[in-house]
Amino acid sequence: MNQGHRLTVTALAVILIAASCGGSASRVTRSTVSTASAGATSAPRAQANNVATAPATVATGNSRLGRILVDGQGRTLYLFVPDRGTTSTCYGACAVRWPPFLTSGAPTAGPGANASLIGTTKRTDGTVEVTYNGHPLYYWVGDSKPGDVTGQAINDSGGLWYVLNPAGTAITSAPSPGPRP
């Protein structure tokens, strides 16, 4: 079995195990599984372990969807529609696929971001998650490089996930298909 197939099988196993463990309902589309398996190991290292190592930076960057919110390294940030106010509802298996954007100090505004829209919220494990315009922010493990928006409009963990524009509003359009290999 080649590495690509192993990653796909591993991603499927993790999702099936998570879905069978109870808790909140989780619906993952077929594209979610293939996307997650393609970049399952590419989450930012500090975020992958839910440990913030420095104050976070929120900035903007270019993508197929236009200008979007990114972290200080240009990685795409997402909001989760079921979140209520600044309270995160993404924990457990959800937070493995959608790691929260954590900070160890007061987050700062990078190029294109509005400092007055940046805030934080405390998660149930005591870590501090960055918010923007009242939305907790997350990464998607399927994104492998700056500008990727492979998590856009995915229905997973009981709701939809969207990138945000510089005003902090969800961009609800789906990305245009990229070139096929």
Q: What is the pLDDT of residue 173?
A: 81
Cβ atoms of 80 and 62 within 8 Å: the answer is: no
Domain enclosing residue 69, as ranges: 3-171
Q: Is residue 179 part of a domain?
A: no
Average pLDDT over residues 112-139: 98
pTM listed for this prediction: 0.73
Strands (E), the chain: 57-63, 66-71, 78-80, 102-103, 108-109, 118-122, 128-132, 135-136, 154-156, 159-164, 170-171
What value does the mean pLDDT of the chain take?
Answer: 79
Q: Please tell me which residue, 33 or 154, carries the higher pLDDT value.
A: 154
Number of domains in the chain: 1
Residue 177 lies in a domain: no
Residue 181 has pLDDT above 70, yes or no: no
